[in-house]
Chains A and B, each alone.
Chain A
Amino acid sequence: MKQRNNIGTWIGFVLIMVWCLLPVVWIISLSFKSVEETAGGSPQFLPKDPTLDNYRDILSNGDFLAALRNSFGIALIATFLAVVFATLAAYAIARLEFKGKRLVLSLALAIAMFPVVSLVGPLFDMWRTFGLFNTWPGLVIPYMSFTLPLAIWTLTAFFREIPWEMEQAAQVDGATSWQAFRKVIVPLAAPGVFTAAILTFFFAWNEFVLAISLTSTTGSRTVPAQLSYFVGPDPFNPPYGQLATASVVVTVPIIVIVLLFQRKIVAGLTSGAVKG
């Protein structure tokens, strides 16, 4: 009985892995193929003649590098601001009794439910008037706003888990409110802060609709938007190899971050759910 269960588990596991990872492997494989091969009409799974040309081209492509820089800059700034604001807001929501607390929380949720697309038009007009169109802040602000609700909700759950006494003990021990927050509460909420930071970073890194609508040059265009301009000289022969390579290059930072913070995220995602 146990044996059969094991086999079943493994079959299921393999199926899911194939389902999820096959496209990724396909992209990676594509990135090592030459133009001749991708245009050849009878593509095989593994590259016949692996080449690093695509990587060389992509990394010497000024537009792509500019977009990569924009992506990093915008995503990091948006993440940083979102986490700072969310930490302060969540702390207030978890600890203080004030009027309109539920309103703040439900409003935050409402923002999260708002479809991004419906805001593109108004934002486009506003940003042009304010001179924010095609600038870093023009993307940082909406990214931050859209990720704040999730970050606030995640962090509120974390702060609620931290016993009040912890902070009171710190105060009795001689800490000011700010010292208690910084030396006791923030370290304890670190898994939550990491979780919120990573979720925010993912959103900002992957976002496409706003990135393409609110930018016009490589001065502030991010990688997802920039990729849509990779059409190549021949409309009938898109540079599949280069697109795949670019995709691989933008995925790498995400994978690195996830691996770096894997333990923290797992701890973060579960500790919110089950009381330790």
Chain B
Amino acid sequence: MAAIEMKNIVKQYGDGFPAVNDVSIDVEDGEFLILVGPSGCGKSTLLRMIVGLEDITDGDMVIGGKKVNDLAPRERNLSMVFQNYALYPHLTVYENIAFPLRLAGKSDSEVDEKVREASKTLELDEHLERKPGNLSGGQRQRVAMGRAIVRDAEAFLFDEPLSNLDAKLRGQMRTEISRLQKRLGITTVYVTHDQTEAMTLGDRVAVLKRGVLQQHATPRELYENPANLFVAGFIGSPPMNFLPAKVDGNRVELPFGTVTIPEDRAAKAQGKDLLIAGIRPEHFEDASVVDSDKVTDEATFKATVDVVEWLGNEAYAYIPFEAPDEVRKQLAQLEKDLDGESLRTQLVVSLDGASRISEGDEATIWVDARKIHLFDPATGENLTIDADNAGIIPGGNAMAKAEEVGKEQDEVKPSAESSAT
């Protein structure tokens, strides 16, 4: 078990494609770190540099206090679970799990003991003599994990291990991985593009965009204090709403009306003309179900609801709005960066399940003004960030830097798909 330190790691491919740019992340001993970002953000490349399957162009990779830049994968003593599991089809489950031990030249009795132990942990006992080809997706996944835990590796590395499973199994395996990691207490780096996995599994999460680290913080910090528009839009489902906003004193003018925000927040956003306000869907509510002492004119607005999706415990209401071109362009770009496609600018509002608002109604919506974030539309920076509770935010403007790198990447490879694996 060991800590992993990445110091100013750079990866540039032979054709000049800058996949990872000056990323520094410390993973503490026993910590569960998530690398997350949309496809092509360099997260897998970074993981493969940790394990030694990609050369490091620049920077230092230190594992357990030892610089490993020039060590071959087998000399780093890490174990990895691949996205497609990479089980050896010609070997039985038993031999698959035993493979690392056999390579290490362990005695038969020791191999047997360790394999049995791993298979018991992962409930693979009845499948030991089968070939991977005859196993279901979830079972294969467990075999791959068995192969990883069977030897005493310094750290576990997971490369999108659950992306090939169906939704239900994914949920179960997620819990299983979390439990296993807690029990073994081993340093883990986990790559995913699924933000649910990122939020639920990680002690800390590193958000990457175009090979540039955006923010490195606990899930809660990321959620409550996103460093910039990108992180704010990436973390949370349904995503944070972005609205054009004008600040005057402590009053924020939104497309639907004007609300009052706390003084300290307003102070940080003075002197800017047009801003982007970020409000999470759950920070809105149907005014009729909110305690009446909270509802003031300062924090409510009236809007016509376009569509309502009622889920039982809650409901999502969609309210379209018009945005000025400047903001719309920025939002469309953001949507593209997040692997999405924006059709229209609309507000998503999460309502209490008890709300009676239905489609076409003009509803009175209450907004929790204390939770509004304000972003600079030019740089994407969060102006209202509470820096003490936002984890590590790299210096300089990470989002703008990612933008630049993105342009560079597009020049080398117009589709930028190569590092998406």
What is the interface of chain A, defined by CB distance below 8 A to chain B?
163, 165-166, 168-176, 179, 183-184, 187-188, 190
Contact = CB atoms under 8 A, between A and B. Distances in A.
Given A173-B147, A174-B100, A175-B74, A168 B79 contact: no
Contact of B74 (A163, A171, A188): A171
A172 B80 contact: yes
Contacts of A176: 72, 74
B74 A172 contact: yes
A188 B99 contact: no
A171 B147 contact: no
Interface of B: 51-53, 72-74, 77-80, 82-84, 86, 88-90, 99-100, 103-104, 147, 151
A168 B104 CA distance: 16
B83 to A, nearest CB: 8
B104 A174 contact: yes
22 contacts: A165-B82, A165-B83, A165-B86, A166-B86, A166-B88, A168-B82, A168-B86, A169-B82, A169-B86, A170-B99, A171-B72, A172-B53, A172-B78, A172-B79, A173-B99, A174-B77, A174-B100, A174-B151, A176-B72, A183-B99, A187-B90, A188-B88
A168 B84 contact: no
Given A174-B103, A184-B88, 18 more contacts: A168-B73, A168-B86, A169-B82, A169-B147, A170-B99, A171-B72, A172-B51, A172-B73, A172-B74, A172-B80, A173-B79, A173-B103, A174-B74, A179-B103, A187-B90, A188-B89, A188-B90, A190-B90
A184 B82 CA distance: 16
Contacts of A173: 74, 79, 99-100, 103, 147
Nearest to B99: A173
A169 B80 CA distance: 7
Nearest to B51: A172
Nearest to A187: B90
Nearest to A179: B103
Contacts of B52: 171-172
Q: Which of B53, B83, B86 has the most CB of A within 10 A?
A: B86
A165 B72 contact: no
A171 B72 CA distance: 8
Contacts, number: 56
A184 B100 CA distance: 12
Contacts of B78: 172
A63 B82 CA distance: 60
Contacts of B80: 169, 172
Instruction: Give the 10 A-B CB pairs with smallest separation, nearest first.
Output: A169-B86, A165-B86, A173-B100, A174-B103, A171-B73, A174-B74, A187-B90, A172-B80, A165-B82, A172-B73
Decide if the interface of chain A is mainly helix, strand, loop or mixed: helix
Contacts of A165: 82-84, 86
Given A168-B53, A169-B80, A175 B103 contact: yes
Contacts of B90: 187-188, 190
Contacts of B79: 172-173
Nearest to B82: A165
Contacts of B89: 188
A200 B372 CA distance: 74
Contacts of B147: 169, 173
A163 B86 CA distance: 8
A183 B88 CA distance: 10
A41 B41 CA distance: 84
Contacts of B103: 173-175, 179
A163 B85 CA distance: 11
Contacts of A171: 52-53, 72-74
A173 B74 CA distance: 6
Contact of A163 (B51, B77, B84, B104): B84
A175 B72 CA distance: 10
A174 B103 CA distance: 6
A179 B78 CA distance: 18
Contacts of A166: 86, 88
Nearest to B74: A174
A174 B82 CA distance: 15
Nearest to A166: B86
Q: Which of B73, B84, B89 has the most CB of A within 10 A?
A: B73
A176 B75 CA distance: 10
Contacts of B82: 165, 168-169
A156 to B, nearest CB: 20
A206 to B, nearest CB: 32
Nearest to A175: B103
B150 to A, nearest CB: 10
Contacts of B77: 174
Contacts of A188: 88-90
A194 B77 CA distance: 35
A235 to B, nearest CB: 58
A170 B90 CA distance: 13
A19 B416 CA distance: 57
Contacts of A172: 51-53, 73-74, 78-80
A171 B88 CA distance: 13
Nearest to A186: B90
Contacts of B72: 171, 176
A151 to B, nearest CB: 21
Nearest to B78: A172
Contacts of A168: 53, 73, 82, 86
A94 to B, nearest CB: 17
Contacts of B86: 163, 165-166, 168-169
Contacts of A175: 74, 103
A193 to B, nearest CB: 13
A170 B88 CA distance: 9
Q: Which of A169, A172, A187 has the most CB of B within 10 A?
A: A172
A176 B100 CA distance: 12
Contacts of A169: 80, 82, 86, 88, 147
Contacts of B99: 170, 173, 183
A171 B100 CA distance: 9
A176 B79 CA distance: 15
A190 B52 CA distance: 28
Contacts of A184: 88
A171 B48 CA distance: 12
A214 B247 CA distance: 95
Nearest to A162: B89
